[in-house]
């Protein structure tokens, strides 16, 4: 078992608050501002979600970001896409982080405080998604770096918005605004920015009032299909991503 007093200060890119009813708010950040995703956060979030899922005092989890974006900035720092050992680390972390989110066996709400240009799969593995009018979705960095988007977005977007729409979204780097995302079933509610977390906590407190086994087992029941999809496809997608990264590395070396 894990306890908030143990892991509450263990993650430099996550800030925690928890209500008396067990609603845990997890705010992703970099130095208090919006998160800059890099190889260090990629590694860190594996254990972050594991610790959250192992804490029996968490009844509902709210995942949100800081500043004006949920996740729209990425740095190559800490990543090694271009050596077998380096990519093996990315491959193992990429598989594990998705399963660790699914292993959080209490209902999860994502409160998207702004654009989501990378790792939108984190949100798609949660149960309720709230957005602001400023929220947009895009899978940007994979093709920017010249690599296959195989880390889960390839599996979850076609599942959520339909096969043809999902493939178009990935292949064209489509920018999906909040209203379209809501119409297509990605977002449940669009909430003004100053009410986003208020609304998230309203919903969370209502869920936290349920009997613990009821809310927990409902999360488990609702995510069984997602668990199968991730278990069957994440490793393969990440392997394809690694092959494309090796080709990028060869091209750079030859240039």
Which residues belong to the active site? 121
Lookup: tokens for 203: 């919903």
Residue 13 and residue 27: Cα distance in Å, rounded? 8
Strands 128-131 and 73-74, sheet pairing: unpaired
d(CA 111, CA 125): 13
Residues in a beta bridge with 60: 23
Tell me whether residue 222 is exposed, middle or buried, using C-beta atoms within 10 angstroms of its C-beta: 0 to 12, 13 to 18, 19 or more: exposed
Cα 223 to Cα 35: distance, rounded to the nearest angstrom:
27
Tell the residue number behind the tokens 């990519």, with chain if given.
87
- Give the Cβ contact number of residue 12 at 10 Å: 12
Treating both helix axes as pointing N-terminal to C-terminal, what angle do 163-171 and 153-161 enclose, rounded to 10 degrees? Answer: 140
């Amino acid at each position: 078992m894990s306890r908030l007093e143990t892991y509450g200060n263990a993650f430099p890119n996550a800030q925690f608050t928890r209500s008396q009813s067990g609603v845990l708010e997890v705010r992703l950040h970099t130095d208090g501002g919006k998160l800059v995703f890099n190889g260090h956060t990629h590694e860190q979030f594996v254990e972050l979600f594991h610790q959250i899922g192992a804490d029996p005092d968490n009844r509902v989890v709210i995942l949100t970001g800081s500043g004006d974006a949920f996740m729209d900035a990425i740095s190559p720092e800490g990543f090694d896409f271009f050596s077998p050992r380096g990519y093996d680390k990315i491959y193992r972390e990429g598989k594990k982080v998705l399963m660790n989110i699914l292993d959080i066996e209490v209902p999860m709400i994502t409160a998207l405080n702004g654009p989501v240009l990378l790792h939108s799969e984190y949100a798609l593995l949660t149960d309720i998604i709230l957005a602001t009018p400023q929220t947009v979705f895009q899978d940007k960095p994979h093709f920017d770096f010249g690599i296959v988007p195989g880390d889960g977005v390839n599996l979850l977007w076609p599942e959520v918005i339909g096969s043809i729409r999902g493939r178009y979204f990935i292949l064209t780097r489509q920018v999906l605004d909040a209203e379209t995302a809501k119409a297509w079933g990605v977002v449940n509610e669009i909430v003004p920015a100053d009410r986003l977390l208020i609304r998230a906590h309203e919903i969370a407190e209502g869920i936290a009032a349920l009997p613990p086994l009821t809310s927990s087992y409902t999360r488990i029941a609702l995510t069984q299909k997602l668990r199968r999809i991730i278990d069957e496809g994440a490793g393969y997608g990440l392997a394809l991503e690694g092959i494309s990264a090796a080709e990028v590395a060869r091209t750079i070396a030859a240039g």
